[in-house]
């Protein structure tokens, strides 16, 4: 099953026979569960009215900040160095990526 995101609001068929129509609104996610829906969405994609999404569901995307793991007393849990592929200090076992530091701008002084 493919899913598509509407990028331009357009009217399209809302049933298999094409006897009913509806407005597909901006940023709507359409799951093409049947062949007629897939064909309709392919037409939308061909006309740049929709794009195919490349994920199975919204749960595939992590939407929150990593959370520090805590022990029974509520203190932060430490990472176990004997397991290099997992970080026990964070829930889910993944350490957040460090923020990139910005380089300072240097200006040259004009010489007379």
Position 20 in a domain: yes
48-106 residue pLDDT tens: 999 998 765 555 555 567 788 888 888 888 888 888 888 888 887 777 777 788 878 77
Residue 58 phi/psi, 5-degree rounding, is -70, -20
Residues 51 and 73 sit within 8 Å (Cβ to Cβ): no
Position 99 in a domain: no
Per the structure, the count of domains in the chain is 1
Position 73 in a domain: no
Position 18 in a domain: yes
Per-residue confidence (pLDDT) for residue 110, from 0 to 100: 74
Position 6 in a domain: yes
Position 85 in a domain: no
CB neighbours of residue 72 within 10 Å: 6
Per-residue confidence (pLDDT) for residue 58, from 0 to 100: 55
On the CB side of 63, CA atoms within 13 Å amount to 4
2-17 residue pLDDT tens: 889 999 999 999 999 9
Q: What is the pTM for the complete model shown?
A: 0.49
Per-residue confidence (pLDDT) for residue 63, from 0 to 100: 57
């Amino acid at each position: 099953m493919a899913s598509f995101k509407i990028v331009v609001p357009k009217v399209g068929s809302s049933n298999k026979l094409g006897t009913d129509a509806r407005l597909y609104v901006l940023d709507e996610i359409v799951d093409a569960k049947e062949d007629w829906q897939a064909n309709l969405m392919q037409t939308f994609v061909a006309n740049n009215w929709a794009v195919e999404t490349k994920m199975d569901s919204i749960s595939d995307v992590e939407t929150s900040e990593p959370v520090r793991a805590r022990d029974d007393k509520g203190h932060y849990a430490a990472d176990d160095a004997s397991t290099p592929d997992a970080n026990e200090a964070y829930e889910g076992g993944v350490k957040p990526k460090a923020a990139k530091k910005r380089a300072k701008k240097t200006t040259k002084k004009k010489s007379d």
